[in-house]
Chains A and B, each alone.
Chain A
Amino acid sequence: MTMQPASTEIASRTAAIIHELKGLEGPLLPILHGIQEEFGYVPQDALPVIAEALNISRAEVHGVVTFYHDYRSQPAGRHVLKLCQAEACQSMGSDAIAAKLKSMLGIGFHETTRDGSVTLEPVYCLGLCACSPSAMLDGEVIGRLDDEKLNEIVAEVRS
């Protein structure tokens, strides 16, 4: 998945996504989601295509993409692990969890392991405060993180 497609391919696949979603009210965010789903990230080459199709400026698309941390500019690892670092989770020890996870994976936040298996990201509240500390692995939420669960997670992403 870390192979980046050629820019002509990006343009054609982007155009297809735009075509499908252009009719929505406020189509920019859905299109960006669609592109991230398609490519695993939002390629820079897709932005002018979107701007042209929606008749807005490149600058505006850039402003929106960079505002949302969820849109990534590079392909992520095969798995994406988001660790909540917001207040409730911090009060339940998410700092220590983060430190441990970083050393287990050998990467920091916003980084991807060398083998491309996993990308680690901080997230600020998953709405799971009652089950703090919490995380999200590939879209699935995990509550009440502890050492055992961390081991399971690492084992799964490494497999």
Chain B
Amino acid sequence: MNAAFDIKSLVQEIDYGTPASEAEQQVTLTVDGKPVTVPAGTSIMRASMEAGVEIPKLCATDMLDSFGSCRVCLVEIDGRGGTPASCTTPVGEGMVVHTQSDRLNAIRRGVMELYVSDHPAAWGETAGTGASEFDKVVRTVGLTENRYGVDGRNHVEQENGVAPGHGSLTIDYIARDESNPYFTYDPAQCIVCSRCVRACEEVQGTFALTIEGRGFESRVSAGMHEAFVDSECVSCGACVQACPTDALREKTVLAKGLPERSTVTTCAYCGVGCSFKAEVKGDEVIRMMPYKAGKANHGHSCVKGRFAYGYATHKDRILKPMIRERVSDPWREVSWEEALTHTANEFRRIQYQYGRTSIGGITSSRCTNEETYLVQKLVRQGFRNNNVDTCARVCHSPTGYGLGQTFGTSAGTQDFDSIEQTDVILLIGANPTDAHPVFASRMKKRMRQGAKLIVLDPRRTDIVRSAHVEAQFHLPLKPGTNVAMLTALAHVIVTEGLFDEAFIRERCDWDEFQDWASFVALPENSPEVVGQLANVDPDDIRGAARLYARGGNGAIYYGLGVTEHSQGSTTVIAIANLAMATGNIGRPGVGVNPLRGQNNVQGSCDMGSFPHELPGYRHISGDAVRAIYESLWGVKLDDEPGLRIPNMLDAAVDGSFKGLYVQGEDILQSDPDTKHVAAGLAAMECVVVHDLFLNETANYAHVFLPGSTFLEKDGTFTNAERRINMVRKVMEPKCGYADWETTQELAKALGLGWNYTHPSEIMDEIAKTTPSFSGVSFDLLDRVGSVQWPCNEKSPEGTPIMHIRGFVRGKGKFIRTEYVATDERTGPRFPLLLTTGRILSQYNVGAQTRRTENVVWHSEDRLEIHPHDAENRGLRDGDWVRLTSRSGETTLRALITDRVSPGVVYTTFHHPDTQANVITTDFSDWATNCPEYKVTAVQVGASNGPSEWQRDYDEQAKQSRRIASLQAAE
């Protein structure tokens, strides 16, 4: 958005210079004779742009508040003296503005001449692209000379001598900072407009940049004059996007030149679902530029979305189908036809031999809605069973269950913009600054405006306290005590009379509420009792409950720290109870919002990926629903739910489940109790992995079908706010087929007469069969950008806020939430509780981010341990430690920190050599089987290096990744 290139096929976004005014009152003025009407409080600069008159500017951009430092955007106003800056001057009724005059031109040229006199341009050097906003303004004002010469004090020349290498070093010169893997900082080109500093503060909320020094010495500094990579910078790139010169510029642009065309698409990392312009030169992505019109991110991004796309062209990508007889054989590259026919034959053979239900499929939360829909259709129509499940099983399945039971829909209630009207944020088991960074920036912005924050998390995450934001309450509860803690909050709300009786009487069942209220009011649910259990100060519990109930608009945001427990579904229900009891549902600023881990978890759940549900969360036992699909697909559907992922693996070990089609999920690394998963996979006769890379699961696969990245396909992703965003093809699939085409080819090989020519036809089928999607089409999405389901006759352009007049299920349902401690307990052998999570620069199992420069920030998983626990065990920071649980053991290096409480240890699961899931147990949520990743009793001790399992595993992985050379294959 900042660099407007004169190339037509780039998507251009207008920069209005200052943010839009929200005022209702309208003001009319004329700019260069053109009348324009804008809301009061709009800047003259913005009003002019709306009238089609572009005023030259350097320090202004519409993602930042006006600043008024560059003195280029001056205008004349009839009846007023001087030449005010148009960015800081608000419009007035009847104002007559002139943006061009001899006086203004002379001033602008004079200002630019001064800038240029301390800029590489004056030395005749092209240090940047030559196409920055700065370069453009130089041309716009018609600057042709530099009367000041190049001999004065400057930041450009390293040496002050005539002959290079013989002068003295000049004091103002600062060398380029190339430390960040993705962008360069060249102080010589900086004009000290502060746009980067303000972007870091206002947009990202990290405050990693400042202007150091004063006067001529002023220069942008990361941290305390540190290299970018060593500073507080989180590499979100907002500064690079904001920079009007090439002082901060993407390395790809400097190395490869400016992009030529762009396509608006949706990020494939987390559940925020940021919109991007993929800017391309030839067939190569030069950069990902956040799209300002994207309703989830409004032009912002994080380090993953903006920079970590290099995996798409990484040499590790497998581009040819491969098969092998036994997993101990090397892979053999084959044609698509051979691979697909072989797979179809194997699946049919297995079904003939072991029965109809002996095979199944797993859909991916990383793939598009259309692709997910096809995989479940393949299983239901082609395999003729319901053995389909999805990776959402291991993350947000309790959300679907809990919110479905209480509210009637299995999804978050708000749009992200709702946060702007929130007064109290209750954040439970989520670490948004690492896992959902773009939304975290919006939370932090709202907190800087005065919203309060309550955090329930065993770990002191960054949002609990970081520059300019601080939680009012942090309840560092013991892992596994969520239900008790939430019930204790409810106890305070009920016993202190803080509930919203009018809301409950109107929207919920009063008798159910009273039953629930009498339960939560029991003394065993009091903060005093629960505080002991969870190791939290009861006064903090009471304070937090009062703040949430009485602090204005209260919104709950939660993550996998809620769901990945043996009582995950109960916790979700407890959350819904809290929101209903306080009337915090059904309007902007409130609600219950799961922060989804992956780009399309919401969508994959919506698309009928679960073994008991058809698309739109309709139970498979419903005759009417089955009839819709039976008539369309021409088959009789099984009315019994199929197997879930853990059941498939159990059945495989038992010998009754023999074949699996896994699209885009690495179950071996991401599912709990790795050894059990490995045993299950090893017992199957045909495992088909459809993925970008030879992932860990592929070590046990017999067929590998190459996958395509989000850049190589059309389709839609649905983000955490139920927003259906378009994914558009930026380049041709490197392996020849987009994933939906591969699934279709497999279906054809199985004899199904599929004939989709474009994903839009798949969406049409979804819309035709699923009431909550009935209004969705690619045409609509192209027209309005994105919609939030339900999108149908009642709400043709989608539903930003749900349950506005009443709950979807009718009356909101209060359900008792009895706390049952997990069976996973600490004891003398395993005295510590392990919990797991993510870090900003890496994503999930790391298959993508480990194949980018993001490894600069996180090259290994570390075990966080409290100084007391470390001291008891004689551990120092950085020591190798052995982590043991009832399930297994692994080794990794310790990181000593008081972010975790005594008795709790924490690690990430981004690196396969760590194998954190060797440790996690097979306990799972009672309702949905979502695994209990967040609580494992462990012991930690000193170690010399990798465990035996890690060594064996490495060897096995190395063996199973062998690909026979072509000669050998032929």
Query: Which residues on A are within 8 Å of B, measured CB to CB?
Result: 44, 47-48, 51, 55-63, 66-67, 69
Contact = CB atoms under 8 A, between A and B. Distances in A.
Select the residue from A44, A57, A58, A69 with max chain B CB neighbours within 10 A: A57
Contacts of B467: 51, 55-57, 60
Interface string B854-876: 00000000000000000000000
A108 to B, nearest CB: 13
Interface string B303-337: 00000000000000000000000000000000000
Contact of B207 (A48, A57, A69): A57
Chain A to chain B: the 10 pairs with minimum beta-carbon distance, closest first: A63-B210, A57-B207, A62-B224, A59-B210, A57-B467, A66-B212, A66-B213, A58-B223, A67-B214, A58-B224
Between A44, A59, A67, the greatest number of chain B beta carbons within 10 A of the residue's beta carbon is seen for A59
B208 A57 contact: yes
Contacts of A57: 206-208, 210, 223, 232, 467
Nearest to A54: B467
Interface in B177-234: 206-214, 221-225, 231-232
25 contacts: A47-B224, A51-B467, A55-B466, A55-B467, A55-B468, A55-B469, A55-B470, A57-B208, A57-B223, A59-B207, A59-B208, A59-B209, A59-B210, A59-B221, A59-B223, A59-B224, A59-B231, A59-B232, A60-B210, A62-B212, A62-B224, A63-B212, A63-B221, A66-B225, A67-B214
Nearest to B466: A55
B809 interface: no
A121 to B, nearest CB: 15
B211 to A, nearest CB: 6
Interface of B: 206-214, 221-225, 231-232, 465-470
Given A63-B210, A66-B213, A55 B465 contact: yes
B821 to A, nearest CB: 36
B223 A62 contact: yes
A56 B469 CA distance: 9
A92 to B, nearest CB: 24
Contacts of A66: 212-214, 221, 225
A82 B960 CA distance: 75
A62 B197 CA distance: 13
Nearest to B207: A57
A60 B467 CA distance: 10
Contact of A56 (B207, B212, B221, B224): B207
Contacts of B207: 56-57, 59-60
B470 A44 contact: no
A137 B168 CA distance: 33
Interface of A is mostly: helix
Contact of A44 (B224, B466, B469): B224
Contact of A63 (B206, B211, B465, B468): B211
A4 B4 CA distance: 52
A19 B221 CA distance: 28
Given A62-B210, A63-B211, A63-B212, A56 B222 contact: no
A63 B467 CA distance: 15
Given A56-B207, A67-B214, A61 B224 contact: yes
Q: Which interface residue of A48, A58, A61, A67 has the most chain B CB atoms within 10 A?
A: A58
B81 to A, nearest CB: 28
Contacts of A55: 465-470
Nearest to B224: A62
Contacts of A61: 224
A58 B231 CA distance: 9
B865 to A, nearest CB: 21
A51 B212 CA distance: 16
A69 B467 CA distance: 25
Contacts of B232: 57-59
Contact of B221 (A48, A51, A62): A62
- Looking at B207, B210, B465, B469, which has the most chain A CB atoms within 10 Å of its CB? B210
Contact of B225 (A48, A51, A56, A62): A62
A77 to B, nearest CB: 22
Contacts of A58: 223-224, 231-232
A65 to B, nearest CB: 9
Nearest to A69: B214
A62 B213 CA distance: 9
Identify which of B209, B212, B231, B469 gathers the most chain A CB atoms within 10 Å of its CB.
Answer: B212
A24 B207 CA distance: 22
A59 B198 CA distance: 13
Contacts of A62: 210, 212, 221, 223-225
A145 B226 CA distance: 42
Contacts of A48: 224
Nearest to B470: A55
A44 B231 CA distance: 14
A111 to B, nearest CB: 14
Given A55-B465, A59-B231, 12 more contacts: A55-B466, A55-B467, A56-B467, A56-B468, A59-B210, A59-B223, A61-B224, A62-B212, A62-B221, A66-B212, A67-B213, A69-B214
Contacts of A44: 224
A55 B469 CA distance: 8
Contacts of B213: 66-67
Contacts of B470: 55
A48 B230 CA distance: 13
A62 B214 CA distance: 12
A67 B214 CA distance: 5
Contacts of A47: 224
Nearest to A64: B210
Nearest to B467: A57
Contacts of A69: 214
Contacts of B222: 59
A55 B467 CA distance: 5
